[in-house]
Structure 1
Amino acid sequence: MVLGIITSIAACPAIIGTTEAIRQGQRQNAREQHRGRKANLLVSCSDPSRKARDINGGTVVLRNNKLYVTTVSPRGRAAKERRDCEDEKDPGRLNERGHLFAGYFFGYPDSKWGRRGDGLVSTISDDPPQLNWIYVDKDTYEVKYGLRVEAEGNLVGPWNCTPIDKRLTLEGWEGFTVVEEEEDVWALYFDKDDDGLEEKVEPNRRIMEVELIRKEMRIGKEEVDMAEQEEELRNGTDEAKNNKRGRKHK
């Protein structure tokens, strides 16, 4: 009896340590669950210029293989209405419409980033649901989206977010900027060299720093159908499938 009590007392620290480790693991899993949930990207811009009001509170959208920021001010909406009228005459004109960013963190194949982060994916269409990688063009520093074959060789991660405000980071810091490509059309860039995109954009282009904040989306039934897309994206079979679809339509 005494031996049993002594054995139990001796085992207590190990039991307590194991229990605490399990609890820490559960808390860690709870904290990390958000990484796999689809989220929109909201834009915060504190630049002192009046132009900042046009995009502060806007959202990130995908179109023409690049990421853009929508405008929110009345002046921006008026500009959009003017462009919409012009679009009727020229359907190919660049405008604010696009697919709303709906992305999440996802392990990039063969990456060795560990806790520094993961790859980043977003839907590019809802019906049928399709995923693409988000990456930064190694030559232009534009933030783009594409298949794995298009993303490879460019800056594909590690993507992460701050623990409290859920602001998006790349390579451990926030270097996101927007460039006004034409009136009230803002393309998203990553200032990798931290020099204001000195050799990447024309000197007369307006550039502003922005913060990208993840806002989780409502979880719907369609989330269950994304597993197959994720596997295709990881293995690179998405390209073959898209090519096959293209041949069928010809």
Structure 2
Amino acid sequence: MSNELTFLVAFATVFGASEAIKHIQSDARRKEHRSRKNNLIVRCLKSCQYSSILEGRRVVLSGDKLYIDTGTHWAGEFGHPFAGYYLAYPDSSASGLVSTICDEPPIMNWIYVDRWSYELKFGNRTWADDNFPIPWDCSRQDRRLTFGGWEGFLAVKEGDFWSLYFDVDEDHLKSKLPEGTPVLEIELIRVEMRITKPKPPPPEDKPEDKEKATENAKESSDAKDRAEGAADANAANGASDGNGADVANGDAAGEAATNGGANGHSGPDKADGSTYPKGAYATPPEEPLESPAVD
């Protein structure tokens, strides 16, 4: 009996440890895929006259809104392709969604739903806080984008463009758009970004190049010392003349500095040491997020 009990206890211990390891590995994979940049691709739920135009198209950022790139202008790109991932929203336990808004430098902005128009937009945290910035997530199997725990994304035709909305009131935006506006239900698929060729590392400095650079720096320093010595000698000779020209020049320079510089222009000490023309530097506005490195 004691042997059977010992076996059951040992089996339960091993099984529990195995399940704990699986849970840790699953959680690590979940966090890894959520932190990787993805593009967004449109999938239409119903077939209609516009579905062939929108099906498989990517989402782009332009102005302050999210659009569907229908590719109608072949000669140039429209907007910046969505390249984003989930990120914990400040002062909240929910996940926000960020995307690059340009490549150089790779600045990130928050994606949010406008509280008045229900449009999908992007901006810094100040703009996001005033609207609906959370919670963003994805479906378990296909990892489709969700907001508020469900999928209510709509494509709306605005002139020659298709913009993205979220059906907050579940009425196909009847209270927000003019009657007759084309509105299509869509899904937003997160897809892995295209892998590009990595940039080559910078060339390493050869030993002989380092020695040559050191010699050039030494020669430059010696030339500077010789020039300063010659200038000191000339100054000494001028002072020995006794005509007082240098003293007069020094007094004039000091008076100009006291009166705000030559011709009345202010010097570098204006506005408490700032050279900013309108006074001291103001506190800069909140900057967007910087894109972290992605493996």
Q: What whole-Å deviation, never above 9, does each CA across 1:138-180 have from its counterpart, x for those lacking one?
A: 0000000000001002111211111221211101111000111
Equivalent residue number for residue 234 of structure 1: none
Structure 2 equivalent of residue 58 of structure 1: 57
CA contact (8 A) 1:138 1:154 kept: yes
The alpha carbon displacement at 1:218 in A equals: 4.5
Instruction: Write the deviation string for residues 202-249 of structure 1: whole angstroms up to 9, x where unpaired.
Output: 113211111100001146779xxxxxxxxxxxxxx994347xxxxxxx
| Corresponding residue of 2:180 | 204
Deviations 1:110-150 (A, max 9, x none): 2234xxxx110000011011000000000000000000001
Output the amino acid matched with 2:100: T
Q: Paired residue for 2:114?
A: 137
| Mapped partners of 2:285, 2:51: distance in 1 | 38
Q: Which residue of 2 aligns with 1:33?
A: 32
Q: Which residue of 2 aligns with 1:108?
A: 89
Contact map agreement 1:42 1:57 (CA 8 A) in 2: yes
Are positions 1:164 and 2:164 aligned together? no
Residue 31 of structure 1 deviates from its aligned partner by 3.2
User: Is residue 286 of structure 2 the alignment partner of residue 240 of structure 1?
Assistant: yes
8 Å contact from structure 2 (residues 124, 287) kept in 1: no
- Structure 1 SS opposite 2:176: coil
CA-based RMSD: 2.7
- 209-218 or 141-150, which deviates more: 209-218
Question: Which one-letter code corresponds to 1:197 in the other structure?
Answer: L
CA contact (8 A) 1:124 1:131 kept: yes
- Corresponding residue of 1:149: 126
Structure 1 residue matching 2:286: 3-state secondary structure: helix
Amino acid at match of 1:240: E
Match of residue 189 from structure 2: 213
Give how far 1:200 is off.
Answer: 1.1
Query: Take 1:195 and 1:140, find their aligned partners in 2: how far apart are those partners?
Result: 13
User: Is 1:46–1:56's contact at 8 Å kept on the other side of the alignment?
Assistant: no
Cα deviation for residue 14 of structure 1 reads 2.8
TM-score by length of 1: 0.72
Q: For structure 1, which runs of at least 5 residues remain unmatched after alignment?
A: 85-94, 223-236, 243-250
CA distance in 2, matches of 1:159, 1:127: 26
Q: Quick one: distance in 2 between partners of 1:241 and 1:24? A: 38
> Does the 8 Å contact 2:157/2:163 carry over to 1?
yes
Instruction: Give 1 or 2 for the bigger CA radius of gyration.
Output: 2
Q: Distance in 1 between matches of 2:131 and 2:55?
A: 28
TM-score normalised by structure 2 residue count: 0.62
Report SS of the residue matched to 2:34.
Answer: helix
Question: Would you say 1:45 and 2:44 are equivalent positions?
Answer: yes
* Distance of aligned partners of 1:108 and 1:241 in 2 relative to their CA distance in 1, 3 Å threshold: closer
CA 1:46–1:20 in 2, change beyond 3 Å: closer, same or farther? closer
Pair 1:7–1:52, CA change in 2 (3 A): closer
> Which SS does the other structure have where 2:27 is aligned?
helix
Q: 2:158 aligns with which of 175, 181, 197?
A: 181
Higher relative contact order (CA 8 A, sep 6+): 1
